[in-house]
């Protein structure tokens, strides 16, 4: 059984709460954009924003992976999309974070997300048969999602 750590190193047990989803099947690029979007938001505001993304009412700005992404009227940046699958998984992560905060006795309305990250996990390599007896690799990258919130 693998042991997973956290990429956040300044964790304070008295005022911070953390949650994670490991090896989920989502695009690492979309997950990174969603993580950078919710970082700095309160827990309630992040949940509202992600629910609007799932309902396709709010765009997530694509800051790094924005080549050939349509331009939209997004405040602060021009390119964006609706990463619905990543938003649903981050909503699940926020539920995990809230449950951990309630277990520790924190006030959920005062939580602010200070760290949100998505980084690649295990790679699953399969092969697709090609002509003349050859084959080509088909790689699927699973993603680790994690978030840390602090009582403010």
DSSP letter at 26 equals S
Indicate the pTM of the whole model.
Answer: 0.91
Residue 36: HSE in the Cβ half-sphere, 13 Å Cα cutoff = 12
2 belongs to a structural domain = no
Q: Which residues pair with 20 in a beta bridge?
A: 146
69-112 confidence digits (pLDDT tens): 999 888 888 999 999 999 999 999 999 999 999 999 999 999 99
129 belongs to a structural domain = yes
13 belongs to a structural domain = no
33 belongs to a structural domain = yes
Residue 32: which pLDDT band, with cuts at 50, 70 and 90? very high
30 belongs to a structural domain = yes
Into how many domains does the chain fold? 1
5 belongs to a structural domain = no
4 belongs to a structural domain = no
109-139 confidence digits (pLDDT tens): 999 999 999 999 999 999 999 999 999 999 9
Domain interval for residue 147:
18-151
- Give the pairing type, strands 16-24 and 135-151: antiparallel
Q: Which residues pair with 126 in a beta bridge?
A: 138
| Lookup: tokens for 83 | 């990463």
DSSP string across 67-114:
TTPPEEEETTEEEEE--HHHHHHHHHHHHHHHHHHHHHT--GGGEEEE
Q: The domain that contains 116 carries what CATH number?
A: 3.90.470.10
136 belongs to a structural domain = yes
Reported in sequence order, the residue ranges of the chain that DSSP labels E, i.e. its strands, are 16-24, 60-61, 71-74, 77-81, 111-129, 135-151
């Amino acid at each position: 059984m693998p042991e997973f750590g956290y990429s956040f190193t300044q964790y304070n047990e008295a005022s911070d709460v953390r949650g994670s989803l490991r090896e989920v099947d989502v695009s690492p690029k979309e997950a990174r954009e969603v993580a950078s979007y919710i970082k700095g938001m309160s827990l309630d505001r992040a949940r509202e924003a992600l629910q609007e993304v799932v309902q396709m009412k709010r765009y997530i700005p694509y800051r790094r992976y924005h080549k050939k992404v349509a331009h939209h009227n997004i405040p602060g940046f021009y390119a964006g999309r609706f990463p619905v699958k990543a938003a649903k998984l981050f909503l699940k992560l926020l539920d995990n974070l809230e449950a951990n905060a309630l277990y520790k006795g924190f006030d959920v309305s005062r939580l602010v997300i200070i760290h949100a990250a998505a980084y690649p996990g295990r790679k699953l390599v399969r092969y697709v048969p090609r002509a003349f007896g050859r084959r080509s690799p088909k790689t699927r990258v699973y993603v680790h999602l994690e978030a840390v919130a602090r009582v403010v």
